[in-house]
Amino acid sequence: MSIPVYDWIRFHAEGQPGKLAAVDVESGRRLTYAQFNDRVTRLARGLSEKFGIAKGDRVAVLAPNSTDQMEVQFAAQKLGFIYLDWRLAVPELEYISRDGTPALLVFHASMRDPALQIAERAGIPATLEMTDGGESAYEQLIARSQPEQLPSPSLTHDDPWSIIYTSGTTGRPKGALLTHGQMFYNDLHCALHMALSPPSVSLTFLPMFHVGGLCVYLAPTVHFGGTNYVMRGFDAAVALRLLADQSTGITHGFAVPTNLIMIEQLPGFAEADFSHLVSVGIGGAAPSPTLLATYNKKGMNLQHAWGMTETATLGTVLSPDKATEKIGAAGRPVLHTQIRIVDTGGNVCGPGAVGELQIKGPTVTPGYWNKPDANAASFVDGGWFRTGDAAVCDADGYYTIVDRWKDMYISGGENVYPAEIENVLYQINTVAECAVIGIPHDKWGEVGRAFIVLKAGAETTAEAVQAHCRSQLARYKVPTEVRFIVELPHNATGKVTKHALPKT
């Protein structure tokens, strides 16, 4: 029997109407559960009555993070439409809107031009503009709608709640379906493995169009009736202030490594006290052991996790008591979930062998929207999802992510995983951020090129960097070229986009 979907915010509005549900950091707006539920109920009603939105329709959102965006996400839970959130890469938007065929585009005023252009080009029938609580079509829709809830659609855990487009660094972006059931189980995993609970207060600065913003920990915090602080986007100084400020009561946050690299370089970092934080997750890209050790020393309760859009985030989590002993590992599989490592010949590997990480469980996507070929290629052996990540499991069952398969290069016949070299570069205390890629080479086939951003005012030379690598790595792994640059390219989630680094 399929499990029905329950209306979380209505439940909390009835049980704890005065509890703070959400704070919009940029505009200062604060919503109790009663207010949040009232606005979302009216919004759902308005979307149904004015735009004819119904179960299964797609509603797209193009906006920076805000509590308004949370309202659209949760109106989808009440009305059963599929929330289609977009990455902000403008050239991809038209493709995505043709693929996702939304019935409505909700956009923030700051993105009016691209939003209207895309709506016209892709034939999206209606648009709705929101500001940050100011006069807007969005606010009018809410104000003019009735506060009584429409009859609930018959939704089950198998119905999609969101479509999140994966980055598409190779080929076209693919829309991963995230069902109500996937989100439900991810919420349980946040509770079990990251101690998220009703008193939790979460800080979100990763984009809500990515699972890093949506699934850790925004949606689960609503599920448990906690409080969400929503930042418009990542701002290192604001994030540091909020994480260190005990008066906000913030207990949880989730970051990609670049976020914590930037926070660590702020002058206020040395004095900041993070001991009140229950759990700060780090994942989405490989954090270096040097970075993890810096935060462990500060007593931040940093929890390394591995996950991806297609797994509604958490796939593995490192428990806090293993933070030092297993530093660098992304932990063990979350409850309800199986993970295996498979070699290129399709054989399941034992401990110590590098292979592709494959995952099976209730947080794994049922598939991509509109992509039968990708779906056929992504699942093997009765439902194991192929992640494209190279990983290794140790004898205790702890998984370390070695790298993306596609980022590996071959130098003189040897496999080189750039993440291993980057970890060594991070040991150099003048290095703020770095990335290594393979470039073509006449003799060795491929060799490494390191891109390094130095800390403010710091100096070093390519020779000194290579000398350090030689002391730590086999010769074929030492980058033959070292380039110092001002900034690495990042995507909107804050991850380094290696494909944008020059190969020539």
Residues at the site binding ligand AMP, with contacts judged by CB under 6 A: 166-167, 211, 283-286, 304, 306-309, 330, 387, 389, 401, 404
Least distance to ligand AMP from the beta carbon of 178, Å? Answer: 11
**Min dist. Cβ of residue 401 to ligand AMP (A):** 4
166 or 228: CB nearest ligand AMP: 166
CB burial of 379-397 (b: ≥16 within 10 Å; e: otherwise) equals beeeebbbbbbbbbbeeee
Strands (E), 273-345: 279-282, 302-308, 313-317, 332-333, 338-342
Provide, rounded to whole angstroms, the least separation between the CB of residue 12 and ligand AMP.
28
Write the DSSP symbol of residue 152: P
Angle, CA 37 vertex, CA 134 and CA 310 arms, to 5°: 95
**Least Cβ distance, residue 304 to ligand AMP (angstroms):** 6
- Quick check: 260 and 282 in contact, CB under 8 A? yes
CB of 140 to ligand AMP, least distance (A): 35
Would you say 250 and 229 are in contact if contact means Cβ atoms under 8 Å apart? Answer: yes
Residue type, 352: G
Residue closer to ligand AMP, measured from CB, 46 or 307: 307
**At residue 238, what is the residue type?**
V
Q: How far is the CB of 496 from ligand AMP (least distance, A)?
A: 11
Residue 8 or 385 with smaller CB distance to ligand AMP? 385
Can you read off the two tokens belonging to residue 31?
């919503």
Tell me whether residue 289 or residue 445 sits nearer to ligand AMP (CB atom): 289
Q: Residue 102 or residue 281: which is nearer to ligand AMP going by CB? A: 281
Rounded Cα gap, residues 216 and 54, in angstroms:
27
Whether 213 and 206 have beta carbons less than 8 Å apart is answered as yes
Cis peptide before 217 (omega within 30 of 0): yes
Nearer to ligand AMP (CB atom), residue 279 or residue 387: 387
**Rg (Cα) of the chain, in Å, rounded?**
23
Q: Which is nearer to ligand AMP, 127 or 288 (CB)?
A: 288
Smallest separation (angstroms) from ligand AMP to the CB of 237: 25
Question: How are strands ordered across the β-sheet holding 104-108?
Answer: 127-130, 104-108, 58-62, 82-85, 160-165, 175-179
Residue with tokens 């929890």: 303
